[in-house]
Structure 1
Amino acid sequence: MRLIAHRGFAATAPENTIAAIQSAAEYADVVEFDVRRCGSGELVVIHDETIDRVTGGIGTVADSTLEELKTHTILESGERVPTLEEMLEALPSTVEVNLEMKDLGIASDVLDAIEGVENRIVTTSFLLPELRTIREIDPSQPTGLLVSRHLETPITTAVELDCDVIGANYWRCLTTRLVSRAKSVDLEIHVWSLERRLTAKLLECRGVDCISADRPIRL
């Protein structure tokens, strides 16, 4: 079982920053970060729709230009909001990436950005249209369906979307047949977000492939 650094181990580093991802890559097998489109059109790495929580500023990412975003620092760290291109250039060559698409309409530009990158990148999303677009444009690009609590048929949906990976909350994986059903159709199973090693071991026994955590966990 492999370890995913959620937002670059968000509990121990300024989340979704280059510094966090580079530091996490020394410990984790996979790094995860989130991508949105900002007001001037660039793809940027930030989780929330607004900048309020992580920068102390006020406003939405969609209404903020890249120049405006770069005036803020992340969680008083001195780190800035990176563009997707900046993040990809800074990636250690050995680490795998889970790239979560947070906005509609960015899939094509994400594919353009990751073209030629040597790292294995799994493009993931809760947004079904983005996963469909990825598959239509590039059938070889690994994709992952992230399962919301409202999605009643996660395995069927992942298969219909021709996904390689399915990601779900750890409690759903422990209390339903999701893991066994995913394994029966050869889906790679990613689980979020854990804090306890014992829970990770239970999930490993179930057959989970990767667990996502906000801090390093010894597996």
Structure 2
Amino acid sequence: MRLIAHRGFAAVAPENTVAAVRAAADRADAVEFDVRRCGSGELVVIHDDTIDRVTEGTGRVVDCPLEELQRYTVLDADETIPTLAEVLEALPPDVNVNLELKDEDIAADVLETLADADVPNRVVLTSFLISELRRVRDLEPSQPTGLLVSRDQRRPVTTAVELGCAVVGAHSRRCLLTRLVPRAKAVGLEVHAWSVPGPTVARILGWRGVDYVSSDRPLSV
């Protein structure tokens, strides 16, 4: 079982920043970060649809041009909201990547940015948005994708297979309390579990058959 640094270990670093990703790469097998489109069209790395929680500014990401976004610092650190290209450039080559598509209609530009960056890392494009996963499959069938399972998602394993996904990701409780993990493993899907609070739960998930656990802090797994 392997460890994913959720947003670059958000509990101990300014989440979704270049510094967080670089630091997490030394302590995890994979880093996870979130991608949206900002008001001037660029792809930026930020989780929320507004900047209110993580910066001193206010407003929706989709309404803010990049120049404005990068005037703010993230969580009182000496870091700004980065572009996707900047994060990809900062990645050490030996860490895997989970890149979550947070907006609709960004799949094509994400694929183009990945092609331009030519990173050697294994990159899995994940999303709750079935339309975006379908778009990735249609544009670049060889690109690994992962379905993130929402609370009300029915038949997630079947949906992931229909979308051609390599990965299915779900909350740790769902991985522990339902048949999702054995069903996913039976059809060859890699399983990722998120919101893992500590090493004990991580080990139980590993025994259950989970391949990667995602945490906001470093864990000894």
The reply to whether TM is greater than 0.5 is yes
- 2:146: which partner in 1? 144
- 2:91: which partner in 1? 91
Tell me, in whole angstroms, the C-alpha distance in 2 between the residues paired with 1:15 and 1:196. 19
Residue identity in the other structure for 1:208 = V
2:188 is the alignment partner of 1:186: yes
- 1:75: which partner in 2? 75
Q: How does 1:45-124 map to 2 (within 5 A)?
A: 45-115=45-115, 116-124=118-126
SS in 1 for 2:92: coil
Residue identity in the other structure for 2:54 = V
- 1:210: which partner in 2? 212
Q: CA offset at residue 56 of structure 1?
A: 2.2
Tell me, in whole angstroms, the C-alpha distance in 2 between the residues paired with 1:152 and 1:94. 35
Residue identity in the other structure for 1:74 = V
- 2:9: which partner in 1? 9
SS in 1 for 2:125: strand
Residue identity in the other structure for 1:104 = E
Runs of 4+ in 1 over 3 A off after TM superposition: none
Residue identity in the other structure for 2:82 = P
Give TM-score, length-normalised by structure 1.
0.99
Tell me, in whole angstroms, the C-alpha distance in 1 between the residues paired with 2:93 and 2:184. 29
- 2:25: which partner in 1? 25
Q: CA offset at residue 193 of structure 1?
A: 1.1
Residue identity in the other structure for 1:133 = R
Tell me, in whole angstroms, the C-alpha distance in 1 between the residues paired with 2:176 and 2:70. 41
Q: CA offset at residue 101 of structure 1?
A: 0.3
User: How high is the sequence identity, in percent, across the aligned residues?
Assistant: 63
Residue identity in the other structure for 1:210 = Y
Q: Residue deviations 1:50-75, cap 9 Å, x none?
A: 00000021100000000000100000
Aligned Cα root-mean-square deviation (Å): 0.5
Tell me, in whole angstroms, the C-alpha distance in 2 between the residues paired with 1:120 and 1:113. 15
Residue identity in the other structure for 1:75 = L
Tell me, in whole angstroms, the C-alpha distance in 2 between the residues paired with 1:207 and 1:100. 23
SS in 1 for 2:54: helix
Q: Residue deviations 1:18-69, cap 9 Å, x none?
A: 0000000001000000000000000000000000000021100000000000
Q: Residue deviations 1:100-159, cap 9 Å, x none?
A: 000000000000011122111000000000000000011100000000001011011101
Tell me, in whole angstroms, the C-alpha distance in 2 between the residues paired with 1:120 and 1:197. 25
Tell me, in whole angstroms, the C-alpha distance in 2 between the residues paired with 1:201 and 1:29. 16
SS in 2 for 1:52: coil
Tell me, in whole angstroms, the C-alpha distance in 1 between the residues paired with 2:154 and 2:217. 30
SS in 1 for 2:3: strand
Q: Which runs of 5+ in 2 are unaligned?
A: none
Give TM-score, length-normalised by structure 2.
0.98
Q: Which runs of 5+ in 1 are unaligned?
A: none
More divergent stretch after superposition (113-122 vs 178-187): 113-122
Tell me, in whole angstroms, the C-alpha distance in 2 between the residues paired with 1:53 and 1:95. 28
Residue identity in the other structure for 1:30 = A
SS in 2 for 1:199: helix
Residue identity in the other structure for 1:42 = E
Tell me, in whole angstroms, the C-alpha distance in 2 between the residues paired with 1:169 and 1:15. 20
